[in-house]
Structure 1
Amino acid sequence: MDNKKLSNSYWIKIVIVFTLGWIAIYATRTILNPIMTNIQTEFAINAAQLGLISSLFFLGYTVTQIPSGFLGDKFGRKKMIIPAFIGFGILAIISGQMTAFYMFLTMWFLTGTFQGVFYGPQYGLSSEAIPQKRLTIGSAIINSGMAIGMSAGYWISSVTVQEMDMSWRTPFWIMGVIVIVIGIIMWVVVKEHPPGYKAPTTVSGEPEKLKVSSLFKNRNLLLAFITIFCSIYGFFVILTWLPYYLETARGISGTSVAFVSSLVPWASIPGMLFFGWLSDKLGKQRPVLLVMVPLAFLSTISIVLFEQMWVLYVALIVYGIVGKLSTNPVLIAVVANNAPRVGLATSFGIYNFIGMSASILAPYITGFITDTTGNLDMGFYLAGALLVIGIIAVFFIDESGYKKVEHIEKVK
């Protein structure tokens, strides 16, 4: 983190623009969820095929994680994310115009592919620009864009389609235009390196080179990879199937679905900011994660374990506070503290590739379980079981060699 003190106010601009980026990404994803029943009726498909829509989207998103991170480190991270970001906005518009199910699947898969380029290069750029003392809280602010976007996507679809009786295709137009505008803003603001950046070198003075194999020999990185997989699986069970569950199992419909579903993202904003601040204050992430992940497990299974509506509301709020959206910036700090400076984008690409592999599996497996059992309960219990594995992984993270950063750079 030698370049942190040279970043000055640039890191604030980076945080703002990347927060807007994640708002756009998550809003585009979640416009799909409140209109799943409309899409199911339009194309006459079953629950497994409905889950396949999200699974293929995240297959496309996931396969680009490692290549985009590696190519970003090699040729320029800004060169990777700007064209891809604008491209996914265009593809989102095209996806919403498809009249055949398999053409819709194909275009939505490509939308996910273009979205997938963003993660590794983005967190590589932000981790390089944000001062180390503010790394977790800065990442948490960026991460809050996911929560805001998730809620915004629910509301855009619920209001336009359910309340205003517009076509289910309308939200795809709305989000596509917004994404393109944000992509242009990003192109203007983002630089490849923060002001005063100095490239990492070896002891001999040669430019440091990345050895990808070394990433898999780092214990803490491997444990972070396992934890994010378990966390994301549960998150995408909730993200993909919660609106459907609320309609079919709890009898909630219309904007009420958007309101209840939005409890998770809105609760996550104070959660991620608080736990991000706490992690930075402690100078360690393991103690914080050992509180968050067990609570995420309890809240996930409570969604379907109890019939009382107030328990459902409390479970969703608690999950929002401690779940994937809030856990992610803390795990990002684990990766940033253990990854080589020269390979930040690659490290984050691998981290998100492994994590987002769960996003491919979760929607389809949960849909298959629903078709087999007749309800969604076992899908949520499976998500809870994986979080138990995540708890075990966090327990073995070793932070004994960490040095707490006391100095805070002044923002100019």
Structure 2
Amino acid sequence: MEGNVGREKQKYIILGLLFMTWIINYLDKLSINIAVIPIAKEFHLNESQTGLIISVFFMSYAVMQLIGGWLSDKYGSRKVILISLLLWSVFTILTGYAWSFISLIVIRLLFGLGEGSFPAASSLALAESFPKAERGRAKSVLTSATTIGGLLSTVIAASLITTIGWRNLFHAFGVLGILMSVLLFFFLKPSVTENVKDVEQKATKVPFKKLLKMPMLWQLMIMYFGVSIVNWGLASWMPSYLVKVKHLDLVSMGAISMIPAAVGFISVLTTGWIIDKFMVGREKYLIIIGAIISGVCVYLMAHAPSIPLVITYQSINNIGALLATTTILTLPLKYFSPGTIGTAVGFMYFGGQLAGAISPSIMGFVISLFNGSYNAAFIFLMLAMIIPIITALTLRTKDSSPEVLQAQVQ
């Protein structure tokens, strides 16, 4: 009895620690979207160069997703999380010492390598600590940390840049990450709570080549690629859009951005509950509905005549986009065997970070091509949401289980 109580307490401690780490992750990662405004002025950068600074991080980040997932399955989530957090915190600090466009490119490239292992490792830590029936809610809580991190990064970055400058902003966030790694060192101790059969499955590693034969793996990666085009495109360029096109100052922009982020936070938590309670085996319908809502709202946002309407459509977009995103991110934890979760999640995140590498650069190029107009860039995002809709129509989870998926690669 005491052992069960101890395991219950430990899994929520782990969830809380990972929640805080994800918030720090997004503070470090997304602050560049605000900081790039004064950086572009200081280094005399155009929109294409600005987009490249944002995108280069995702190039190395994407590559490391694949390696990080495999490392997590091989060496365990704890080691990979600690090393990744330390590395990206160091490169966050170094970002504040950048002296040129090229130095920023190099530092952001290394930043991506350091951070790339964390998403898959954190998902594996959840799978090691929560039973399948609770993983949708646990993953939604973890995903909600990204919305809080996105909210805080905009508000805090905008405020700190105007008071202490963009360089000191990165120094402060990097130190915060190092302090968090000390806390994780002492308290992050994932333990498998599934039954004996699952533990035995965990010991059975599936070769990566065989894992690639699983149709669901590719479907998840493609869907996550599509929704991430929109998520990272808006995260990267909405601050600049609100400042340059809608003529808000940095502080006002940061404050008003809290509204869509707060709506997204509620959407993520609600989605996790819906998945676990009502949509087991029918998750693809949530993905389709969410993607349609997002695509329509991106179009409306591009043509909104006022700031209140822009924020309204952005908020509804967050409901749809995060409905699809949260569902996609939960599926590997429910339908893949424990010994493959880290690698599978890493592969899926690889698709998402490819989108992160592509989307900001394409949008920057399109905005430059149309002389500062964002309309064509928003149309690009709207069309990207067709990808998860079409792919979700082919997804079959109703009769799937870890055992069935495992058998597909035998």
TM-score (norm 2): 0.91
Provide the C-alpha distance between the structure 2 equivalents of 1:274 and 1:36, rounded to a whole number of angstroms.
Answer: 33
AA aligned to 1:400 is K
C-alpha contact (below 8 Å) 2:95/2:108 kept by paired residues:
yes
Provide the C-alpha distance between the structure 2 equivalents of 1:55 and 1:126, rounded to a whole number of angstroms.
Answer: 29
C-alpha contact (below 8 Å) 1:228/1:331 kept by paired residues:
yes
| Other-structure match for 1:289 | 287
AA aligned to 2:336 is A
- 1:112-261 to structure 2, matched below 5 A, reads 112-162=112-162, 164=163, 166-194=164-192, 198=196, 200-201=199-200, 207-261=203-257
Sort the Cα spacing of 1:96 and 1:331 in 2 relative to 1 into closer, same or farther, 3 A: same
- Does 1:274 pair with 2:278? no
AA aligned to 2:330 is A
Kindly provide the CA deviation profile for residues 241-272 of structure 1, in whole angstroms up to 9, marking residues without a partner as x: 00101111111122111123333322111101
- 1:373-388 to structure 2, matched below 5 A, reads 373-374=370-371, 375-388=373-386
C-alpha contact (below 8 Å) 1:84/1:117 kept by paired residues:
yes
Provide the C-alpha distance between the structure 1 equivalents of 2:400 and 2:341, rounded to a whole number of angstroms.
Answer: 18
SS in 1 for 2:166: coil
| Other-structure match for 1:395 | 393
Sort the Cα spacing of 1:323 and 1:62 in 2 relative to 1 into closer, same or farther, 3 A: same
Provide the C-alpha distance between the structure 1 equivalents of 2:326 and 2:49, rounded to a whole number of angstroms.
Answer: 32
Provide the C-alpha distance between the structure 1 equivalents of 2:242 and 2:268, rounded to a whole number of angstroms.
Answer: 25
Sort the Cα spacing of 1:135 and 1:5 in 2 relative to 1 into closer, same or farther, 3 A: farther
Provide the C-alpha distance between the structure 1 equivalents of 2:293 and 2:254, rounded to a whole number of angstroms.
Answer: 24
TM-score (norm 1): 0.90
AA aligned to 2:15 is V
Provide the C-alpha distance between the structure 1 equivalents of 2:37 and 2:192, rounded to a whole number of angstroms.
Answer: 46
Unaligned runs of 5+ in 2: 402-410
Sort the Cα spacing of 1:274 and 1:45 in 2 relative to 1 into closer, same or farther, 3 A: same
C-alpha contact (below 8 Å) 1:66/1:346 kept by paired residues:
yes
Could you tell me which of 362, 366, 384 is aligned with 1:365?
362
C-alpha contact (below 8 Å) 2:128/2:193 kept by paired residues:
no
Deviation (angstroms), 1:63: 1.2
Provide the C-alpha distance between the structure 1 equivalents of 2:156 and 2:13, rounded to a whole number of angstroms.
Answer: 27
C-alpha contact (below 8 Å) 1:6/1:195 kept by paired residues:
no
| Other-structure match for 1:410 | none
C-alpha contact (below 8 Å) 1:10/1:194 kept by paired residues:
no
AA aligned to 1:94 is L
| Other-structure match for 2:349 | 352
Provide the C-alpha distance between the structure 1 equivalents of 2:203 and 2:308, rounded to a whole number of angstroms.
Answer: 58
Provide the C-alpha distance between the structure 2 equivalents of 1:121 and 1:276, rounded to a whole number of angstroms.
Answer: 20
Deviation (angstroms), 1:6: 9.8
Greater displacement, 193-202 / 304-313: 193-202
AA aligned to 1:239 is A
- The structure carrying a bigger helix percent of its residues is 2
Q: What RMSD over aligned residues (CA atoms) do the two structures have, in Å? A: 2.1
Kindly provide the CA deviation profile for residues 184-243 of structure 1, in whole angstroms up to 9, marking residues without a partner as x: 1122222253368856437xxx94231323333323332221111000010111000001
Provide the C-alpha distance between the structure 1 equivalents of 2:206 and 2:400, rounded to a whole number of angstroms.
Answer: 22
Kindly provide the CA deviation profile for residues 90-110 of structure 1, in whole angstroms up to 9, marking residues without a partner as x: 211111112122112211221
Could you tell me which of 295, 317, 320 is aligned with 1:319?
317
Kindly provide the CA deviation profile for residues 116-138 of structure 1, in whole angstroms up to 9, marking residues without a partner as x: 11011110111221122221111
Provide the C-alpha distance between the structure 2 equivalents of 1:10 and 1:377, rounded to a whole number of angstroms.
Answer: 49
Sort the Cα spacing of 1:179 and 1:197 in 2 relative to 1 into closer, same or farther, 3 A: farther
Provide the C-alpha distance between the structure 2 equivalents of 1:246 and 1:158, rounded to a whole number of angstroms.
Answer: 13
Provide the C-alpha distance between the structure 1 equivalents of 2:328 and 2:210, rounded to a whole number of angstroms.
Answer: 19
| Other-structure match for 2:297 | 299
Provide the C-alpha distance between the structure 1 equivalents of 2:98 and 2:37, rounded to a whole number of angstroms.
Answer: 17
| Other-structure match for 1:25 | 25
Unaligned runs of 5+ in 1: 404-412
Deviation (angstroms), 1:390: 1.1
Provide the C-alpha distance between the structure 1 equivalents of 2:212 and 2:203, rounded to a whole number of angstroms.
Answer: 22
C-alpha contact (below 8 Å) 1:55/1:364 kept by paired residues:
yes
Identity among equivalent pairs (%) = 20
| Other-structure match for 1:82 | 82
C-alpha contact (below 8 Å) 1:66/1:349 kept by paired residues:
yes
Kindly provide the CA deviation profile for residues 156-188 of structure 1, in whole angstroms up to 9, marking residues without a partner as x: 2211223x3x32212101111111111111222
Deviation (angstroms), 1:7: 4.6
Provide the C-alpha distance between the structure 1 equivalents of 2:16 and 2:315, rounded to a whole number of angstroms.
Answer: 25
Provide the C-alpha distance between the structure 1 equivalents of 2:87 and 2:288, rounded to a whole number of angstroms.
Answer: 39
Greater displacement, 351-360 / 76-85: 76-85
Greater displacement, 80-89 / 257-266: 257-266
Provide the C-alpha distance between the structure 1 equivalents of 2:340 and 2:267, rounded to a whole number of angstroms.
Answer: 29
Sort the Cα spacing of 1:306 and 1:207 in 2 relative to 1 into closer, same or farther, 3 A: closer
Provide the C-alpha distance between the structure 1 equivalents of 2:398 and 2:20, rounded to a whole number of angstroms.
Answer: 36
State the aligned residue count: 394
Greater displacement, 188-197 / 56-65: 188-197
